[in-house]
A and B are shown apart, each in its own frame.
Chain A
Amino acid sequence: GALVYQYPRRTICKSGTSMRMECQAVGFQATSVAWYRQSPQKTFELIALSTVNSAIKYEQNFTQEKFPISHPNLSFSSMTVLNAYLEDRGLYLCGAREGGADTQYFGPGTRLLVL
Chain B
Amino acid sequence: SQWGEENLQALSIQEGEDVTMNCSYKTYTTVVHWYRQDSGRGPALIILIRSNEREKRSGRLRATLDTSSQSSSLSITAAQCEDTAVYFCATDRTGGADRLTFGKGTQLIIQP
Binding site for B on A (CB under 8 A): 4, 6, 32, 34, 36, 41-44, 46, 49, 51, 93, 95, 97, 101-109
Contact = CB atoms under 8 A, between A and B. Distances in A.
A106 B44 contact: yes
Contact of A42 (B40, B86, B99, B101): B86
Which range holds the interface residue count of chain B?
Answer: 20 to 34
B20 to A, nearest CB: 20
A106 B98 contact: no
B65 to A, nearest CB: 14
B100 A34 contact: yes
A41 B88 CA distance: 13
Contact of B48 (A4, A32, A36, A103): A103
The residue among A4, A95, A107 with the most chain B CB atoms within 10 A of its own CB is A95
Contacts of B43: 93, 106
A77 B102 CA distance: 22
B81 interface: no
